[in-house]
Amino acid sequence: MAYSFVAVPEKSGHMLDAIGVGRDETVDKISLCGWRLLVRTLSGRREDYLCCRGARDGHYLLVGDITNLEEIRAIAAIYTSEAVTARPAELLVLLIGLIGVKALAFVEGPFNLVRFTGDGDVAIMSDALGLQPAHILFGRQLWVTSELKTVGLVDPEIFQFEQEELVVNAGSHLDDYTPIQNGVKAKPGAVTTVHRDDNHRSPIRKLCYLEYGCATPRGPPLPQAQKLIFDLLSGSVARIAGMCSAVAIPLSGGLDSNSSDIRRMAGPSRHH
């Protein structure tokens, strides 16, 4: 499993050498379609998070965790037997090839599926809830990353922030809002695409793969709305806790939202 990444154009690959790596961290440095990547992982098995289809069809990097992996496998297995033994990244690529990118609406958990192609395009397919944030930054070079803090340490002058008063007084924000003027946040439930251009800022394309529909009446009374939210959250956590040996809870971490693992032990007295 890969849990974060930083990518720059190949000619700026030396910038990744300045990124600090912890003594106990496992990192993988990869070259893909004119890009240089640093990927932080929980295992050394590259096939778990990388699926290579060639420069034309793209190379796919899976960052994050799929919590309903076996359900996705069962759906894909209806169409092809390859899904039975496919690793996580390959399974999502198979599903998209069979059904289309809207198939990602079935996928649960914090994830980004990042596609690199030979023509310089990078497409970030983000989970519906935005639990695995990713950004595109335009500085002296182009950055595509889930680690804003790391980029800031390597290039302290890259961020151009909006005025604090405008951010605080703006009220609610869209789900892809970022206070960084020279950056773009990948939109949850969408495919955010940028083309590598060394001369000027390239346009960003965003295509939603998830269409929301209200299963309950709009504008319910406050007590009813609170109960609906509580039931959804508690039911989701209960399902994950019953299926998985580790539960990840996204926490606010300033520029980034990091994850903290809570390990479930055999007995209640051993929980920590």
> For the chain, what is the total number of helices (H) and then of strands (E)?
6, 14
For residue 216, what pLDDT is reported?
57
How far are the Cα atoms of 35, 119, 225 from residue 55, in angstroms, in the given order? 12, 8, 48
- Domains of the chain by start residue, with CATH: 2-208 (3.60.20.10), 222-270 (no CATH)
Q: What is the DSSP string of 192-238?
A: EEEE--SSSPPPEEEEE------SS-SS--HHHHHHHHHHHHHHHHH
pLDDT band at 239 (very low <50, low <70, confident <90, very high): confident
pLDDT band at 263 (very low <50, low <70, confident <90, very high): very low
Would you say residue 272 has pLDDT above 50?
Answer: no
Ordered alpha helix ranges (H), the chain: 54-57, 69-77, 88-99, 148-154, 164-168, 222-243
- Span 169-221, pLDDT tens digits: 777 788 899 999 999 999 999 999 998 765 555 678 999 998 776 665 567 78
Cβ atoms of 26 and 44 within 8 Å: the answer is yes
Average pLDDT, stretch 39-63? Answer: 86
Largest pairwise CA distance in the chain: 59
Q: How many CB atoms lie within 10 A of CB 150?
A: 21
For residue 52, what pLDDT is reported?
87
For residue 261, what pLDDT is reported?
37
Cβ atoms of 204 and 223 within 8 Å: the answer is no
Single-letter code of the amino acid located at 116: F
- Span 120-138, pLDDT tens digits: 889 999 999 888 999 999 9
Q: How far is it, in rounded angstroms, from Cα 111 to Cα 94? A: 16
Structure tokens at 135: 């950004």
For residue 86, what pLDDT is reported?
94
